[in-house]
Structure 1
Amino acid sequence: MRVVDWGWALLVVLVWGVNFVVIHVGLVDVPPLLLGALRFLLVALPAVFFVPRPRIPLRWLLAYGLTISFGQFALLFSAMRVGMPAGVASLVLQSQMIFTLLFGAVLLGERWQRHQPAALGLAGIGLLVLATQQQAGGMTLLGFVLTLGAAACWGLGNIVTRRISQSGPVDLLGLVVWGALVPPLPFLAASLWLEGPSRVVGSLQHLSTSSVLAIGYLALIATIVGYVIWGRLLQRYPVAEVAPLTLLVPVVGLLAARVLLDERLQGVQWCGIALVLAGLLVNLFWPRWRLWVHRHG
């Protein structure tokens, strides 16, 4: 990966790492499904009147909006509402690497390199360790499972993005903006059904300044800026090379949650986190280490 693209990738890491603290702030006054509806409404409007629609079939636009937008964030926001700490959520969501590589192999026929099963094994063991720590630091099993579901939706959305890019150049800003037209209606319908009309109306009538700022960050920074950059990286490089970079997000997420929310983790949880991050290190640096050994051995 070029140095400039490393810079863009690290910017996404910073934006998405802080994102979890912002979600926590937004959920204080706004129920999760309504928060999702407001986020993507702000992404889409008024931008759709100024950004051309991407030249892709409608089915792919719907697939993008329903996986990487609606599916991922309906589950993630709900998870954080029912007992998933922001810092731990930032880590567990990065299991999207596992789902992306699995979906990439099954749906796109991408071959794994020899070191990647070991990397995924380490990350998987780390997630298993975290899954056993119910109530540690406020985490619930339901919150953990919902976050894994969100990661699976993100992984499938990565494959959709990759598949779209294989058919030719795509305006990624257009994809993000027009794709954001898809989730608001499912979000709103689910919110009215599960959260209730009175709660929806009451939340809208009493939006606090912190909620408005949180929605603005989620829509404009985390979604438009983050996903446009992420999509460009997926266009330029194989899924197996790009997806693992997001395992750096929990480093920022955990630090931000510790400093801003005073979230504290147990020793066993740190062991799980270390295993997940070890999977990232193996996936990123093993090929380079092998090449260095070959050249200098």
Structure 2
Amino acid sequence: MSATRSSARFDALLVLALLSLIWSYNWIVMKQVLQWSGPFTFAAWRGALGAVTLFLLLLWRRAPLRPPPLAPLLWIGAAQTLGFQALVQWALVHGGAGKTALLAYTMPFWVVGVAWLVLRERPTRAQAVAVAVAFAGLLLVLEPWAGLGRLESSLLAIAAGLCWAVGTVLSKRLFQQGRATILSLSAWQMAVGAVGLVAVAWAADEPATQWTGGFIAALAYNAVLASGLAWLLWTYIVDKLPMTVSGLTSLVIPIMGVLFAWAVLGEAPSPAEWTGIALVGAALAIVALAVKPAVGGSRGD
């Protein structure tokens, strides 16, 4: 490997570390913002401002503004933005930021089943082992023997991961067909999902938002960093690193989210949860290390 190429790889790894920090800490931001806003109201603002930021990025990069095919775009927007963001914010109302992040990041395991149904991609032996290990870990994280009162937010977070998986598989099919680019699809599907989020927030009739400095900072963090800068960083990483390496963000982000929640919010996992986290992390590693290079998109917040 030439010195120039080695330097580019090192720079990309530094960018990957910065991206992981931005997306993992955003789980803390999304939890804290609930003291000033209803979950669906914040999700609507986040989706709308995120869409505006991504379209500004398209204009800045002089990329075509033509939307992807309408039918798959509507399905992806409904799953990946409307479903994912609404369910995640709802889960955070009563659930911890770290646990919610971890359970939402079960997305790679749901992708195995959804891809089997939609793309006819049969799971490999490594994927089957990962799913089995993850299931054991999820049981320990959920701790159903501790009572059903704490189960609702966990199930909402898992449902969010399933929505994300559906959006990911449908996105992959569009990429395979050469009918969309990562940034264009991200902008358009977020715009479609934001419309749905606004409708949900209106129907939910939540209390008035408190426009405090903290709320405005949370919106800015999500629009500028988690949606805007993070997508620029992600595009750079995809260009400079193999997908097998960049895909490891799926492993790093939820683990960092758990650690941030512990340090900032005092959410100390129980011994059973620590064991479950370790098992889910091991399963994510199996999936990430066994994946073959492919063209596709991602999200992380």
If the length of structure 2 is used for normalisation, what is the TM-score?
Answer: 0.80
Offset of residue 123 of structure 1: 1.1
Q: Which residue of 2 aligns with 1:28?
A: 35
1:161 touches 1:231 (CA, 8 Å); kept in 2? no
Q: Which residue of 1 aligns with 2:98?
A: 87
1:113 to 116, 124, 130: 124
1:33 touches 1:78 (CA, 8 Å); kept in 2? yes
2:40 touches 2:86 (CA, 8 Å); kept in 1? yes
1:40 aligns with 2:47: yes
> After alignment, is 35-44 or 111-120 more displaced?
111-120
Q: Which residue of 2 aligns with 1:292?
A: none
Offset of residue 85 of structure 1: 0.1
Secondary structure, counterpart of 1:183 in structure 2: helix
Offset of residue 37 of structure 1: 0.7
Rounded to whole Å, the distance in 2 between the matches of 1:25 and 1:256 is 12
| Count of paired positions | 278
Rounded to whole Å, the distance in 1 between the matches of 2:116 and 2:232 is 24
Secondary structure, counterpart of 2:102 in structure 1: helix
Q: Which residue of 1 aligns with 2:259?
A: 255
Structure 1 spans left out of the alignment, 5+ residues: 288-297
If the length of structure 1 is used for normalisation, what is the TM-score?
Answer: 0.81
1:172 touches 1:228 (CA, 8 Å); kept in 2? no
Secondary structure, counterpart of 1:265 in structure 2: coil
Rounded to whole Å, the distance in 2 between the matches of 1:153 and 1:97 is 11
Structure 2 spans left out of the alignment, 5+ residues: 1-7, 292-301
Offset of residue 98 of structure 1: 0.8
1:223 aligns with 2:234: no
Rounded to whole Å, the distance in 2 between the matches of 1:102 and 1:272 is 21
Secondary structure, counterpart of 1:182 in structure 2: helix
1:100 aligns with 2:141: no
2:188 to 178, 196, 200: 178
Q: Which residue of 2 aligns with 1:267?
A: 271
Offset of residue 93 of structure 1: 1.0
Offset of residue 3 of structure 1: 4.5
Offset of residue 283 of structure 1: 3.3
Offset of residue 207 of structure 1: 0.8
The change in CA–CA distance for 1:226 and 1:113 in structure 2 (over 3 A counts) is farther
The change in CA–CA distance for 1:127 and 1:244 in structure 2 (over 3 A counts) is farther
2:9 touches 2:241 (CA, 8 Å); kept in 1? no
Offset of residue 7 of structure 1: 5.6
